[in-house]
Structure formats: structure tokens, C-alpha cells
Amino acid sequence: MNFSEWNDWALLPASGQWLLLGETTILAAVLLVLFSIVQNARLIGREDRMEVLKKRSAWRPYVFLIIAAAVMVFVSLWNRALEVNHFPSQSMGEVLTVFCLSLLVSQAILHFALGLNSRGPGWAILTDALSFVVLCGTLGTLYHLSSLSTAQRDLPPALQSYWFAPHIVALIFSYATLGIAGVLCVIYFVTRFWTGVFSGGRSFASQALILAGFLLVPFVQVITIPALALGGLVFFTAKLLGKLPTAESLSGMEKELDQVSFLAFAVGIPFLTAGLWMGAFWAQEAWANYWGWDSKENSALISWLIYVVYIHLRLVGGWRGEKAMAVLMTGALSIFFTFQIFGYLPDSQKSLHRYTDPEVPAQEGVQGATPQDEAQAQLEVPREEQ
């Protein structure tokens, strides 16, 4: 978090002020999550642990702050829309702000929909750990926003459509929710790895494959390596205290994680599908072509197909556990590539889906100018001749 921004509070636009308030609220939520983890860890081994958990409300203190932060980020986006006179999703900074809001809303929904908090101390710690990872990711993203340009630009003609806002919102919300499903996959494989280290029962090849995936897959190491280290610390501490979970209980937790990740996937996949459909209808209206084979369109389609394979293998092939989670994590990696890595590829420079920078003129995409653009160009020719 960039505390120096508080010194420039009066100079910030309304959108920046609300975003800074949201960032501060998320930081407070992170501290409350850590306190909640300590509380739940102290219940492990107590005979009355289930009674204590049942008396607790799902409305943990940090949940209130998550919702409050979501409201603040929403108000920031509302003010940004007033500042730029269009839905704020043209620049990378604006899109990442929408993504942060989607993460907060997704986490709040999944917190209540999954209902992990009342299943036991281990599950209560798990839901806290998931909230911790999501909040830290959101906080890091908001901190990154301070390094991005906030210049205001008009939308190019091709983006001036009623499809713009719902298309973006559906896709970004799906990215956030499916990303959380990917985080659950990370937790699953971290649990499997450290169970094998401290309790045995895992093959060397399986352990080596998990470790290689966490350490060698580029870009996502910012999540996988800290998660692996944190998991090792938790298991090591439990070992020292003599409270290491049994292999049977950990096996049950892995099965539950598999089911929980599927539920998170079930929330996100309809929005990804809807986003692709709306994009196709938009393209048909603008260019009389449902699919232009734009590079980012293809990347999003690949992600969707991976998830289709996942649901097919799970429901028809009966895949569960390690194999199903590996496919689901592959989908999350594809989503991450589509959302973030794509913009740095050379082919992205000609894509309509590239988040423009202030120094780079807006591109019309590989499908060419819309009929409205061509008509406008014809009207401007006589003016130039005069």
C-alpha cells in the first residue's frame, strides 16, 4: 500500500480517494483474517470445538470489511465513469479496478455459498486462508494501480456500444471467480505435497511434479511459492505442537476441496460463457461477423474449451481428485494468460481487446473499421479538401 497517497488526498480525484479508502479497508480486513486464523487454530484439539463453531455467525468481522471495501471500490468506479464519461474499462488501470471489485464480490459470495466456516476448525482455517490469499492479491493489485496511468481518453467508435459494459463485467467476474477456484487448486496441491512430506504415502514422482509445477511455471510463482512456504510453515508448526492431522482426515479434506473448487467453478463458468456470447453478438452488430479470430478471442475460447473438458471429464469420465484438479488449474492458468500476459505479446498490439495506453492510439482490431466508422470517414473527406 502506498501511504504517501494520503499526503496528496486533496489532489486526488473522487475515484482515487474512494479507491484509497477501499485499499485501507482491505488492509484492515487482512489483519482481521490473521486474527481469525489464530482463533480457529486454538480450537484444534478441543472437545467442544464444533459447539463453539456452530455458535459463531458466518458474518465474521473481516467479512463486513470485505463488503465495505467492495462498496468503496464500486463508488470509485462510479466516480471514474463520471470523470471519463463512459464505463471505465478502457485502460489497464480501469480494468484491474473492475477485477478487484469482482474479486471482493466473488469472495463474499463464496464465503456464504460454500459454508466452510462451520464444518470444523480446519475448514474454518481454510476459509480464512482463502480470504487471506484473495485479499492479499486484491491489495497487491490495487498497489500496482498506483504505477499505472490515470489519463482520460475517449472511447474509440468500435467500443461505443451498449454491449461494452455487460461484456466486460461478465468476463472480469468470471476471471475473478475462476481465479479463486484456481487458488483452491493451489491449496489442494499444497496440502497433498506437505502431507507427503510429513506423513508419507505419496510417490516421489507425484511430489516432484507438484514441486516442479509450483517452482517452474512462470508468472504464477507470485502465488504458488508463497502458498507452498505458508503451507510448510503450518504443517511444521502442527508437527511441533503434536497436532498434525491424520492421513485419514487430510484425505477427507482433499475430497472436500475437490468438491468446493467445483462449486466455485460452477459460479464462474456461466459468466465466462455469457461474456463470450455477448462478445459474439456485439461483433455481429459491429462487423456483421460473429467471430473475427482476434488473438484474444482465441485465447479466451481456449480457456473456455479447457473448462468444457474439465466438466466433461468430471461428470462423464468420473474424474476426481488430483487429475480433475490439475485440469481445473490448467484452466486458471489459461485465464491468467488471457487476462494479463496476453497484453505483452507482439500480436496483441493489433487486437481490439488490448487495453490501450495513453501513448498508443486506440486500435480498431483485426476485423477493420465498422460501417459507422467508414461513414464518418466519408463525411470528413470534403472537410479536408476544403
pTM for this model (two decimals)? 0.81
C-alpha cell read off for 184 = 483452491
CA nearest to 244, candidates 116, 122, 118, 117: 122
Q: Which amino acid is at 185?
A: C
Give me the pLDDT at residue 85, please: 87
Cβ-based neighbour number of residue 179 at 10 Å: 23
Q: Which amino acid is at 25?
A: T
Q: Which amino acid is at 93?
A: G
Q: Which amino acid is at 55?
A: K
CA nearest to 365, candidates 288, 291, 292, 280: 292
Domain-embedded: residue 309: yes
Give me the pLDDT at residue 368, please: 44
How far are the Cα atoms of 103, 199, 328 from residue 111, in angstroms, in the given order?
A: 12, 30, 20
Domain-embedded: residue 379: no
Q: In whole angstroms, what is the distance from residue 245 CA to residue 257 CA?
A: 16
Give me the pLDDT at residue 383, please: 46
C-alpha cell read off for 185 = 487448486
How far are the Cα atoms of 87, 172, 233 from residue 84, in angstroms, in the given order?
A: 8, 20, 47
Q: In whole angstroms, what is the distance from residue 56 CA to residue 127 CA?
A: 14
Domain-embedded: residue 118: yes
Q: In whole angstroms, what is the distance from residue 104 CA to residue 20 CA?
A: 15
Domain-embedded: residue 154: no
Give me the pLDDT at residue 385, please: 47
Q: Is 293 left (phi over 0), alpha (psi -120 to 50) or beta?
A: left
DSSP summary character for residue 363: P
Judge whether 76 and 15 are in contact, CB under 8 Å. Answer: yes
Q: In whole angstroms, what is the distance from residue 278 CA to residue 164 CA?
A: 9
C-alpha cell read off for 211 = 514441486
3-state SS, residue 329: helix
Walk along the chain (386 residues) in steps of 10 and give the mean pLDDT of each run.
64 84 92 81 61 62 92 94 86 87 90 68 71 86 78 74 89 91 88 79 76 76 79 80 72 81 91 93 83 80 94 91 90 87 66 56 43 53 47
C-alpha cell read off for 190 = 499444497
The model's pLDDT over 204-256, given as tens digits with 9 standing for 90+, comes to 777 788 888 887 776 677 778 878 887 888 788 777 877 777 767 777 777 88
User: Where do we find the cell 486484491?
Assistant: 138
Domain-embedded: residue 114: yes
Indicate the Cα dihedral angle 370, 374, 380, 382, nearest 10°. -170
C-alpha cell read off for 239 = 508437527
Give me the pLDDT at residue 287, please: 76
Domain-embedded: residue 48: yes
Radius of gyration of the chain (CA): 23
3-state SS, residue 218: coil
Judge whether 269 and 178 are in contact, CB under 8 Å. Answer: yes
Judge whether 236 and 242 are in contact, CB under 8 Å. Answer: no
Domain-embedded: residue 226: yes
User: Where do we find the cell 472537410?
Assistant: 383
Give me the pLDDT at residue 342, please: 72
Q: How many CA atoms lie within 13 A of 151 on its CB side?
A: 10
- Overall domain count for the chain: 1
Q: Domain range holding 123?
A: 16-149+160-360
Q: In whole angstroms, what is the distance from residue 200 CA to residue 110 CA?
A: 32
**DSSP run (H or E) holding 142:** helix 121-145
Q: In whole angstroms, what is the distance from residue 250 CA to residue 239 CA?
A: 14
Judge whether 37 and 128 are in contact, CB under 8 Å. Answer: yes
Q: In whole angstroms, what is the distance from residue 5 CA to residue 156 CA?
A: 31
Give me the pLDDT at residue 346, please: 66
Q: In whole angstroms, what is the distance from residue 22 CA to residue 254 CA?
A: 34
Domain-embedded: residue 31: yes
Judge whether 253 and 192 are in contact, CB under 8 Å. Answer: no
Give me the pLDDT at residue 352, please: 66
